Amino acid sequence: MHSALIPVKSLDQAKSRLATHLTQAQRAALVLDMLHHVLCTLQASNVLDRISVVSSDQRVLEQAQAWRAYAHVEEETGHNPALTAAARSELSEGTTALLTISADLPLLQVNDIRGMIEQSKHSAVVLAPSQDQTGTNALLVRPPLALPYTFGPGSLQSYLSESRIRQLSSCLYTSIGLGFDIDTADDLVTFRQNHLSLRPSCYPPLSPLFFNI
């Protein structure tokens, strides 16, 4: 059973690096817009049996359910402990392979998800690097929790090291859709100038916030 888990911070804390350009309400709307895109892409891939969102924010969880995802209320404080608790819940539901993926990937495409699932047939750990090649935007592990969650600065090398220590086969899956995330105003400008044409027209419409900075 293949499942996906999407962590989302409280909307009150959403995208703080954009605070000088967008109001808190605008940042929250941007986060929800990208989450919707990621959920739609995961659902359209048709390779996942279960898709869940984990957050401490009730608005996020209610919206996730409206978009046909399961909702996990954060049971632990801190990003990685909260993911660990949610992953245990997924494991109890019968999940045998768990994809943990960022919510802010506006260029994510169906083939990115299918590609990671295909790679997981040959590797116990599949990692999608961030665009700077130091962070991790998606992690597919078989079985769940075979690796501890270590998301944060330098997580890519951390996951590769932990895989070697545990003698788990690992590989990288690199694509624009999985690598490009939105954290800063420069990211929004880059998206608008260089990547907008890569977004399939059948996906949910983009928020005007993508165009107004």
Q: Which two tokens stand for residue 188?
A: 């929004």
The pLDDT assigned to 49 comes to: 95
The architecture CATH gives domain 2-210: Alpha-Beta Complex (3.90)
| DSSP reduced 3-state for 186 | helix
pLDDT digits (tens, 9 = 90+) for 107-161: 899 999 999 999 999 999 999 999 888 999 999 999 999 999 999 889 999 999 9
The string of pLDDT tens digits covering residues 169-204 is: 999 999 999 999 888 878 777 777 665 555 555 555
Residue whose C-alpha is closest to residue 178's, from 109, 83, 79, 100: 109
Q: Please, what's the b/e burial string for 91-109 (b: 16 or more CB within 10 A of its CB; e: otherwise)?
A: beeebebbbbbbbbbbbbb
Q: Are 3 and 95 in contact (CB under 8 A)?
A: yes
d(CA 95, CA 1): 5
Domain ranges of the chain: 2-210
According to DSSP H, which parts of 20-123 are helical? 24-45, 58-66, 79-92, 110-119
Interval 80-109: pLDDT, tens? 999 999 999 998 889 999 999 999 998 899
